[in-house]
Amino acid sequence: MFGWEFPPFNSGGLGTACQGLTRGLANKGVGVTFVLPRRVPLDVDYLKVIYGDDSVVKTEYVINSILMPYHNSKNYMESKENLGSSQEDIYADDLIEEVLRYGSVGGEIALREEFDVIHAHDWLSFPSGINAKKASGKPLVVHVHATEFDRTGGEGINQVVYDIEREGMTNADLVIAVSNYTKKIIVEKYGIVAEKVRVVHNSIDFENYTLERASKLSEANKVVLFLGRLTLQKGPDYFVEAARRVLEHYPDVIFIVAGSGDMEKQIINKVADMGISDRILFAGFLRGDDVKRAYQMADLYVMPSVSEPFGITPLESIINNTPVLISKQAGVSEVLNHCLKVDFWDVDEMSNKIVAFLRYPELYQCLNESGRREIEGWSWDQPAGKCLDIYNEVLGEKKLGW
Amino acid sequence: MVSVCFYFQVHQPYRLRKYGIFDIGNRRDYFSESGDNNLNNEKILRKVADKCYIPATKVLLEIIKENPGFRVSFSFSGIVLEQLESYAPEALDLFKQLVATGNVEILDETYYHSISFLYDKEEFKRQVEMHRKKIQEVFGVTPRVFRNTELIYNNELADFIDKMGYDGILAEGADHILGWKSPHYVYSPLNSSIGLLLKSYKLSDDIAFRFSNQGWQSWPLKAETYAHWLSSINGSGEVINLFMDYETFGEHQWSDTGIFEFMKALPGEFLKNPDNNFMTPSEVIKAYPKRGELDIHNFISWADIERDLSAWMGNTMQHSALKQIYELGKEITLTNDKKLIEDWRRLQTSDHFYYMCTKWFNDGDVHKYFNPYESPYDAFISYMNALQDLKLRVEEIVRVDDREKDLDNVVKEVRVK
């Protein structure tokens, strides 16, 4: 399995999903060798982890014919911007070069390791997956957690990234999409036949969460939380717009914006211009226990994503006893019923629901109770089981013994 | 001898428009949703009239022409009659023709299809009286038998209805109430002599729910087969109460399922056995002795598998909304403001609370099918917002009244001086 990040060294849902999925597969007795591009001090016992930079790769292998035509400095910069600031911390240098370097070791690792199926997560690891397939002749499954269309909001698609994504999906034996929403993009924008795409919704290990309720920021003030990258994709601008409307009618609310990204300055300035800087607090990028604390501090978590392939954070929030308001466009909306839903662009309705939620305590009670009940049986064993079926499908006669 | 007693419920609520928090104090047309959506009351009533009320009533008129012994009973909520008058008068004319045949009995219920009996008995009584008056006006008949909203029933209600002078009352033939007893006899409520008719839910649901289910072993159900099932009750029962929503015909079971042909053929098939006949609830109560007294302390209803109140009173949102709407009762009736009182009553219709039910939401079953809102939470939000506006209206009137009283006092004082 080729990944890009792994908790606690992750910047978003991709790492969380890889962790959950590999643990789920391990529970089903599947041995997973997980490849990461660079060495990080991970402590996992259910996985064999190997690192791309440990491989001794001769320079001639680095040259990849597929990617060469797009190899120019302008694209490097664009893609760096698309990635957001947090991931740059981990992979500081030129991203495309990093992806290509990682891709080139895929084949070498494939020849060295023993395995039956190759599973690659998102475009960053697709070149590795393709090379591994070429070297070993083993079937390739690519897992799409997000596309270039989600990351950019459909504007300013990076051609290099798009081509890598499409190349991966085309070379794959089967493609996994994290929602029907994403499947639709894969079929319509990447020209992949629908029969080749399987939907496997993400999940969450409900059992693994222990609850110690953190103290509220303030008993007097209600708290509404945004948590995610401050990029076009996540819709932070809609959040502050809704906040402004809410504050007009309900001045005692505090809005917390947690996350960083290329829209950070813009959003901070916007809030200052609106004159509500005292009501909207910026918490920066949070990780680990701080994320948990943020959920618990909040009365309501809002995820107004413009384009969200899945969105695990609402599930994390519900587990932390904080109900959620999500955009109907989010993939998680396909599997989560007990939450409030709006169209991300409908700021009026978003503010209407936020005020109603704060005003009628019955909503908190019912959403919290029913929301928790809805996901209490969920675990990563379910998506892992579906992945196993997909492995068996690509293996055909050569089914796995698990 | 076995008698089949049909009772069809005809009801459509005034669905509340999407009413946002910022509408409070700004708009009072709570039930005025327009355009192509499921909260548009006129659109829905027209659709149901075309798919069900008109074709189904024509079928019943034909049946009566061919089988003069055919009998059927109806209960119309007051608010469906209002909507028929406004949006589908030709459907109402057909209902009037049907009642004029003399083969049809009309039952009483609450005008607003409310669960007021559980919260405000005076209000309940007023709504029943309003309903009786409306039925007299529209159909020229006076109901003798009562059926409560969603067949909600217990001893206390039966006693109340007895004292209001009715001859009988309908209820669900719930298994947990009947135990080994059969719903196919007439009973009487605890310490009462009125007739208690219990829905034969298995046979009723064969038509209402299972008719078009292709996975059901008896699908496709033929009138002949069903008539045979009814006939076979001979010897082990006296009356078969087939109670269901009238919308079963053409709306829940679409025309292409063959439901109309089934209904058309059924009376002829059933009457082939000379021991069989059709009766209305009043005829049943007169014809058959009461075979026992039923002690039903806890409320039962015909909803869901639980057959209890949980469809309307199962979660905090529902309890809170119900409590708040009924708390307004005293003050609102004192205002004497007709429009305000009417809006308050329209907000009591049980459907509003049914839409807030979270019980089966994940299963996407009947609750979702019958919910015009996207979720129970959306239903609750619109309802509570409208309720806040209603409260504002009450406050405004009370304030004006107080000011007038103050003014009167000042005038009096001046005069005295």
- Asked if A337's CB is within 8 angstroms of B375's CB, the reply is yes
> At B78, is the secondary structure helix, strand, or coil?
helix
Q: Which of B21, B324, B389, B391 to probe the A interface (max A CBs under 10 A)? A: B21
Among B150, B238, B247, B251, the one annotated catalytic: B150
CB contacts, 8 Å: A249 with chain B: 21-22
Q: How confident is the model at residue B320 (pLDDT cuts 50, 70, 90)?
A: very high
pLDDT at A95: 81
| Local structure of B80: helix, strand or coil | helix
Residue A2 lies in a domain: no
Nearest to B259 by CA among B69, B72, B8, B52: B52
A181 and A266 inside one domain:
no
Q: Which of B316, B228, B340 minimizes the C-alpha distance to B273?
A: B228
Question: Which of A144-148, A248-252, B299-303 is predicted with the least confidence, judged by mean pLDDT?
Answer: A248-252
> Cα–chain-centroid distance for residue B361?
23
Contact A366 B375 (CB under 8 A): no
**Full domain range(s) for residue A124:** 13-203+380-395
Q: pLDDT per residue over A5-52, tens digit each?
A: 998 887 778 999 999 999 999 999 999 999 998 888 888 888 899 888
Inform me whether the pLDDT recorded for B11 exceeds 90: yes
Cα–Cα–Cα angle for A392, A396, A401, rounded to 5 degrees:
45
Interface test with B, best of A248, A325, A352, A375 (most B CBs within 10 A): A352
pLDDT at residue A83 greater than cutoff 90 = no
Q: Do B22 and A352 touch (CB under 8 A)?
A: yes
How much is the ipTM here?
0.88
Number of structural domains, chain A? 2
- A300-303 and A324-327 beta bridge pairing: parallel
Question: Is B302:B151 a contact under the CB 8 Å cutoff?
Answer: yes
Query: Mind telling me how many Å the CA of A41 is from chain B's nearest CA?
Result: 42
Q: Nearest to residue B223, comparing CAs of B279, B196, B261, B182? A: B261
What's the CATH code of the domain at A231? 3.40.50.2000
Chain A positions in Cβ-Cβ contact with residue B27 (cut-off 8 Å): none
Closest-CA residue to A37 (of A73, A90, A88): A90
For residue A209, tell me if it sits in a domain: no
Model pLDDT, residue A152: 84
The DSSP symbol for B53 reads I
* Residue A328 covered by a domain: yes
**d(CA A291, nearest CA chain B) in Å:** 27
Give the percent of chain B with pLDDT over 70: 97
Is the pLDDT at B359 greater than 90? The verdict is: no
Which range has the worst mean pLDDT, A83-87, A319-323, B247-251? A83-87
- For residues A319 and A359, state if they share a domain: yes
Q: Is B105 a catalytic residue?
A: no
- How high is the pLDDT of residue B304? 84
Same domain (yes/no): A171, A275 = no
Q: A174 and A33 share a domain?
A: yes
Phi, psi angles (nearest 5°) of residue B147: -135, 130
The Cα–Cα gap between A91 and A44 comes to 21
The answer to whether residue A77 sits within a structural domain is yes
pLDDT per residue over B94-150, tens digit each?
999 999 999 999 999 999 999 999 999 999 999 999 999 999 999 999 999 999 999
Secondary structure E strands in A285-321: 300-303
Same structural domain, A155 and A242: no
pLDDT greater than 90 at residue B275? yes
What's the mean per-residue pLDDT of chain A? 86
Count how many Cα atoms sit within 13 Å of the Cα of residue A100 in the half-sphere of its side chain. 21
Question: Which token pair is B200?
Answer: 């034969």
**Rounded-to-integer distance, Cα A33 and Cα A18, Å:** 12
**Chain B interface, mutation test: which of A325, A342, A362, most B Cβ atoms within 10 Å?**
A362
d(CA A253, CA A245): 11
Distance CA B367, CA B357 (A): 8
Cα–Cα distance between A371 and A377 in angstroms, integer?
11
| Average pLDDT over chain B, rounded to an integer | 94
Q: Which of B320, B361, B375 is the closest to A362 by Cβ?
A: B320
CB spacing of B317 vs A362 below 8 angstroms: yes
Option in B20, B321, B377 nearest A367 (CB): B377
Question: Shortest CB distance from B20 goes to which of A352, A360, A374?
Answer: A352
Q: In the predicted model, what is the mean pLDDT of residues B47-59?
A: 98
The answer to whether A249 contacts B22, with C-beta atoms less than 8 Å apart, is yes
Integer CA distances (angstroms), A41 to A11, A49, A51, A103, in order: 16, 11, 11, 22
Same-domain pairing of A120 and A267: no
Averaged pLDDT for residues B52-80? 97
The answer to the question of residue A402 being in a domain is: no
- Picking from A338, A348, A362, the nearest residue to B361 by CB comes out as A338
Q: Are strands B2-10 and A340-342 parallel, antiparallel or unpaired?
A: unpaired
Instruction: Report DSSP letters for A367-392, one per residue.
Output: HHHHHHHHHTT--THHHHHHHHHHHH
Q: Are residues A165 and A244 in the same domain?
A: no
Mean pLDDT, to the nearest integer, of B239-261? 96
Residue B365 confidence class, pLDDT cut points 50, 70, 90: low
Mean pLDDT across A76-98: 52
- Per-residue HEC secondary structure of A12-66 comes to CHHHHHHHHHHHHHHHCCCCCEEEECCCCCCCCCCCEEEEHHHCCCCHHHHCCCC
Statement to judge: residues A94 and A131 lie in one domain: yes
Q: Which residues pair with A76 in a beta bridge?
A: none
Spatial CA neighbour of A285 closest among A78, A8, A6: A8
Residues A235 and A194 placed together within one structural domain of the fold: no
**Residue of chain B with shortest Cα separation from A324:** B377
A364/A385 same-domain check: no
Map tokens 């002690």 to a residue.
Answer: B295
Residue A226 included in any domain:
yes
Residue A1 placed within a domain: no
Same domain, A29 and A139: yes
Q: How far apart are CA A239 and CA A266, in angstroms?
A: 13
Query: Same domain, yes or no, for A39 and A166?
Result: yes
Residue in chain B closest to A335 (alpha carbons) equals B362
pTM, to two decimals: 0.89
**Closest-approach residue (CA) in chain A for B22:** A352
Residue B98 backbone zone (phi > 0: left; psi -120 to 50: alpha; other: beta): alpha
A169 within a domain of the structure (yes/no): yes
Residues of A in contact with B321 (CB under 8 A): 362
pLDDT at A219: 67
Q: Do B316 and A249 touch (CB under 8 A)?
A: no
- CA–CA gap between residue B350 and residue B150 (Å, rounded): 8
pLDDT tier at A215, thresholds 50, 70, 90: low
